[in-house]
């Protein structure tokens, strides 16, 4: 058997957009409804396959809270891949994602493969069919919901796709909760990594 190709991947994005949840889905196929914020960063590994090659992702899941921003360069410095996450129900999180992408394009490895992930797609899929109601009466931030509170999409698929195309990024809308496009995203990144 061939030795796995090691690929260092970093996750970046605003607090609470679901970075850790995407990693937990990809690595352990699990989802936690009320996940604690990451402190500093977490390290995990997971393998995936591209044709006959084994790709071993070495994943740095960074903390989104602003007080940890200064640590980020340590994690993206030698990264070959990055997943920059926003929340489709929160427009400001896309602005934050764009500023991470600018920072990566200025400071990270020039060949870095970057994917933009619009997470929490499950919330707007529900909303598009009518009203969304949370079983536990709390939204994803742990705040009390009104009854049948509709969750509206704040970032259209088209807007994000146009930006991603202009910036040369892979683009996916994902749900860590319902396991939508998570494996697909990591597989597509693996396929795009230049392997000698
Ligand atoms: P920091 O570590 O603080 O940067 O946050 P994070 O980006 O790692 O977010 P985290 O994965 O901790 O998720 C934040 C909250 O959103 C948690 O309560 C998750 O359960 C919830 N969440 C994450 N992904 C999804 C998703 O796809 N859908 C829904 N509905 N909720 C999600
Ligand atoms: Mg986290």
Q: Do 190 and 50 form a contact (C-beta atoms < 8 A)?
A: yes
Looking at the predicted structure, is the pLDDT value of residue 41 above 70?
yes
Ligand 1 pocket at CB < 6 A: 13, 15-21, 32-35, 37-38, 63-65, 119-120, 122-123, 140, 175-177
The H-or-E segment that residue 61 falls in is: strand 53-62
Q: What pLDDT shows up at residue 38?
A: 98
Question: What tens digit of pLDDT does each residue of 72-98 get?
Answer: 999 999 999 999 999 999 999 999 999
Please list, in sequence order, all residues whose beta carbon lies within 8 angstroms of the beta carbon of residue 63, skipping any fewer than 6 positions away: 15, 37, 38, 39, 40, 41, 71
Instruction: Return the ligand 1 atom nearest residue 174 CA.
Output: 27
Q: What pLDDT shows up at residue 137?
A: 46
User: Whole-model pTM?
Assistant: 0.90
pLDDT band for position 196 (cuts 50, 70, 90): low
Residue nearest to atom 20 of ligand 1 (CA): 33
């Amino acid at each position: 058997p061939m030795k796995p190709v090691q690929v260092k991947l970093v996750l970046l994005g605003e607090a609470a957009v679901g970075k850790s949840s995407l990693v937990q889905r990809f690595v352990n196929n699990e989802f936690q409804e009320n996940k604690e914020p990451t402190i500093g960063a977490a390290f995990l590994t997971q393998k995936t396959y591209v044709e006959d090659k084994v790709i071993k992702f070495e994943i740095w899941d960074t903390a989104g809270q602003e007080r940890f921003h200064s640590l980020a360069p340590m994690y993206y410095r030698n990264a070959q891949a990055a997943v920059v996450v926003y929340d489709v129900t929160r427009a400001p999180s896309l602005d934050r994602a764009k500023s991470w992408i600018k920072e990566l394009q200025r400071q990270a490895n020039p060949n870095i493969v970057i994917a933009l992930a619009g997470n929490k797609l499950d919330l707007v899929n529900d909303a598009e069919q009518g009203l969304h109601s949370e079983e536990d009466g709390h939204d994803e931030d742990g705040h009390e919901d009104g009854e049948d509170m509709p969750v509206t999409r704040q970032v259209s698929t088209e807007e994000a796709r146009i930006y991603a195309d202009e910036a040369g990024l892979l683009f996916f809308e994902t749900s860590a909760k319902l396991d939508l496009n998570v494996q697909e995203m990591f597989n597509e990144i693996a396929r795009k990594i230049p392997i000698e």
